Structure 1
Amino acid sequence: MNGVINCLKPPGMTSHDVVDFLRKQLGIKKIGHGGTLDPGAAGVLPLFVGKATKAVELFEETTKEYVAEMTLGTTTDTGDNLGHVLETKEVNVDVSSILEVLRRFIGKIEQIPPMYSAVHYKGRKLYELARRGITVERQPRIVEIYSLELIKYEKPRVLFRVSCSRGTYIRTLCEDIGRALGCGAHLSCLIRTRLGPFHISSSITLEDIKMYVSQGEAWKIFMLVDEALAPLMPSTRIRLRDQKSFFRGALFPVEEISMEPNGKYVRIYDQENKFLGVGEILKQEDNVYLKVVKSFQ
């Protein structure tokens, strides 16, 4: 079994819990996931099985989209509704104020990672320190908010949709927006609706995964790796004279490739349309070459 599963993670489970569930269902240890979701969050969690685990990092820089609910007037020590309340304030905010503040957060912004996160500090994860009551100084990071749309406002709850870059903390975004509004806020509900090419409309629940596996139809839950990569990069067909040399990382002249390079990475197929792996376009002086960076053979 090699492929990608567009899984719908339920709230109440860690991303690793979902991986453990799938390992037990499929009887396979080699499984990884892309884009960690907090235990309280739900939504798209891509799972990579077998040889497909090699592709995880190829999806790390893809855009993520969320629908989030933010509750104004209350701040917590975790930034979400699972933490202890730190402060409550009266909410006197109208729709126009919310729209004006949301516009300020579109583009490249600085975020300080929350203490309750998996960011490492001197070999320890921040949430491990936070659980011991230890707070350390964190350096701000640059993330990008591509779009921020207000869906609904019913005081004190704000429902919004956000499209953002890797490394964006929606909990922190809610805290920063609440601070800008002058009343504080925390994340009260979060659903990831998209991660790169994986959309919630085609995701599969854990119950359905269990059903297909029990019926001997596990193949129905998988997407081929090259199909998952198709929206991210173009493809090329090559004629290999020396496969061993090629898959060891030898450079392949671009004249031997059936396309003009128009991106950093390409999906590589042989003349029989068999998917071989992902290659990187390299330019050296006046020559252009292709080099395998991920082999799926």
Structure 2
Amino acid sequence: MLDLNGIINVLKPSAMTSHDVVSFLRKTLDMKKIGHTGTLDPNACGVLPICIGKSTKIIEYIQHKNKKYRAEVTLGYSTDTQDKYGRVLETSKNNVSNDEIINVVNSFKGKINQLPPMYSALKKDGKRLYELAREGKTIERNTREIFIETIDILSINKNKIMMDVICSKGTYIRTLCNDIGERLGTFAHMSFLERLSVGDFNLSDSYTLEEIVVKKSNNDMSFILPLDNALKFMGSIYLDKMFYKHISNGLNMRAKRLGISDFILNTEYKIYCNNDFIGIGIFALKNDEIVLKMDKVLV
């Protein structure tokens, strides 16, 4: 079994679940410790960062980064899954103008409350909502506050709207498409979805599963990115090598002893020592002294 640590920017194919991708790579790389950073719809394609080895400890940091999607909204009918693969629920022949579409789509920018769909991986009493939905059950759900940073309409072609969306964690693009239709006084569903980015991971830098298999067979592991590659948004602190043992063991260290003064309290930093990325640390006040606390040790 290989001892690998890092992140793989996978281009997930459609008709494959995020869990399927994890299982495929677990076998391909002969890895036990592996996980994805946030479910992407089975019928969607695009960026799916996969963490292997010690990098699974930083999944939470990647999950919270904004995501960018390209989606197509088809007006005219809604489905139970809110995408084109579901059962048709409602139809409408209402015509809406391009101006109406532009105004309604733009009205979803900013903080909004969204009701998670029944066909989702959320759990209720230990059971996935999509499992309950397949049993014909609908349960009460609470709305969740999400943030739509941008919606850019790329084209409007008869009843089809192509748009790019940058949004927060927890946003359901299927539901956004459905809600756009309702606000337009008609019905709608998501007919296409591609994830263009997750934080700093972009589609242009991603690898297909086929490419990963070929590289692995050639002993080329360049598709595995260093752990700290996913944490570019964090500041960096570099410590003298004399502190390596203490820091790598996760011990609290006084900032004054470390000779560090340029930092912001209660802010996460990438910590480096002896040219190694040690992990994630936070400067905090403890007993009237500022100490560096290692939140995640990754060596």
TM-score range, shorter chain: over 0.9
Q: Secondary structure at the match of 1:57?
A: helix
Q: Secondary structure at the match of 2:11?
A: strand
Distance 1:68 1:278, change over 3 A: same
Question: 2:293 maps to which residue?
Answer: 291
CA deviation vs aligned residue, 1:136-191 (integer Å, no higher than 9, x gap): 00001000000111000101110001000000000111111110001110011000
Q: 1: distance between equivalents of 2:227 and 2:237?
A: 15
Question: 1:80 maps to which residue?
Answer: 83
Distance 1:257 1:55, change over 3 A: farther
Q: 2:177 aligns with which of 160, 168, 174?
A: 174
Q: How does 1:95-110 map to 2 (within 5 A)?
A: 95-110=98-113
- Two-structure CA RMSD over aligned residues (Å): 1.6
| Correspondence 1:206 to 2:209 | yes
Deviation, structure 1 residue 287: 3.6
Identity fraction in percent: 45
| Correspondence 1:192 to 2:195 | yes
Q: 2: distance between equivalents of 1:82 and 1:173?
A: 16
Q: 1: distance between equivalents of 2:259 and 2:166?
A: 35
Q: How does 1:129-144 map to 2 (within 5 A)?
A: 129-144=132-147
CA contact (8 A) 1:236 1:259 kept: no
Q: 2: distance between equivalents of 1:142 and 1:94?
A: 29
Q: 1: distance between equivalents of 2:289 and 2:241?
A: 19
Question: 1:222 maps to which residue?
Answer: 224
Q: 2: distance between equivalents of 1:223 and 1:2?
A: 9
CA contact (8 A) 1:54 1:294 kept: yes
Task: Give the AA of the match of 2:122.
Answer: V
Q: 1:261 aligns with which of 252, 263, 274?
A: 263
Q: 1: distance between equivalents of 2:74 and 2:279?
A: 45
Distance 1:161 1:285, change over 3 A: farther
Q: 1: distance between equivalents of 2:23 and 2:85?
A: 23
Q: 2: distance between equivalents of 1:52 and 1:193?
A: 22
Task: Give the AA of the match of 1:104.
Answer: S
| Structure 1: gaps spanning 5 or more residues | none
Question: 1:252 maps to which residue?
Answer: 253
Deviation, structure 1 residue 254: 2.2
Question: 1:233 maps to which residue?
Answer: 234
Distance 1:286 1:8, change over 3 A: same
Deviation, structure 1 residue 78: 0.6
Q: How does 1:55-70 map to 2 (within 5 A)?
A: 55-70=58-73
| Structure 2: gaps spanning 5 or more residues | none
Q: 2: distance between equivalents of 1:39 and 1:209?
A: 20
Q: Name the count of aligned residue pairs.
A: 294
CA contact (8 A) 1:72 1:91 kept: no
CA contact (8 A) 1:91 1:156 kept: no
Distance 1:28 1:188, change over 3 A: same
Distance 1:61 1:259, change over 3 A: farther
Of the structure 1 ranges 284-293 and 145-154, higher mean CA displacement relative to structure 2 is found in 284-293
Question: 2:280 maps to which residue?
Answer: 278
TM-score calculated relative to the size of structure 1: 0.94
Question: 2:150 maps to which residue?
Answer: 147
Q: Secondary structure at the match of 2:225?
A: coil
